[in-house]
Amino acid sequence: MMEEHRRRRIRRGEETGATLVEFALVAPVVFLMIFGIIGGCFLAYQNSALRDGATAGARMASIDMSPTNLVSNGTNVCETTGAGQTSITTAIAQASPLLHINPAPLCGPSSAGPLTQSPTVAGDVNITVTCSGTGGCSAPSDTEVTLQLSTQGLVAPFGLTFNMSSSSQDPVLGLQG
């Protein structure tokens, strides 16, 4: 009876070593899956925030892109904000607070041409405002805002770069209720 009890104790010791080896084999896979899910959720959030920012920027651009809100500096036309006005960049930053927005001003070759940020910054949200109307941004539906973001995932050693882009044209006119 005593000898049988001793054999059971020896078997348990052998099994604990096997458990440790199994854990060592399974743990990296489990941790990779967990961090992959977290990274995927983070990228999905950034994509959603980019869409929200494009919508808010298009709303603001439909108001802000009138010729009275643009100023010429000799070679370019740039967006300006007067008393009580909010810039397109600020509207985008408020709609997507966790994304870093390029702080460069929105400027373009003319009031009818696209306004872009120069220089563009990798890792920041870069904004382009396009007026598709013949006379510039004469109607709100002529204005389109495009946001572009180039970012790395949370797991940097893999070196994956994700390029995201979102466009919005606002407001949608002519809806009948």
What was the pLDDT predicted at 27? 95
Q: Strand 77-79 relative to strand 70-72: parallel, antiparallel, unpaired? A: antiparallel
Alpha-carbon torsion angle 32, 37, 42, 43, nearest 10: 90
Q: Are 109 and 131 within 8 A, CB to CB? A: no
Q: Are 102 and 126 within 8 A, CB to CB? A: yes
Q: What angle do CA 64, 149, 151 make, to 5 degrees?
A: 155
- The pLDDT-based confidence of 175 (bands split at 50, 70, 90) is very low
Q: Is the pTM of this model over 0.75?
A: no
Choose between 39 and 111: higher pLDDT.
Answer: 39
φ, ψ of residue 19 to 5 degrees: the values are -65, -40
What was the pLDDT predicted at 31? 92
What was the pLDDT predicted at 90? 87
Choose between 89 and 133: higher pLDDT.
Answer: 89
User: Burial code of 123-157, b = ≥16 C-beta within 10 A, e = fewer?
Assistant: ebbbbbbbbeeeebbbebbbbbbbbbbbbebeeee
pLDDT in tens, 144-157: 888 998 887 666 55
What was the pLDDT predicted at 71? 75
**How would you class 19 by CB atoms within 10 Å of its CB: exposed for 0-12, middle for 13-18, buried for 19 or more?**
exposed
What was the pLDDT predicted at 68? 61
| Nearest C-alpha neighbor of 127 from the set 152, 154, 153, 99 | 99
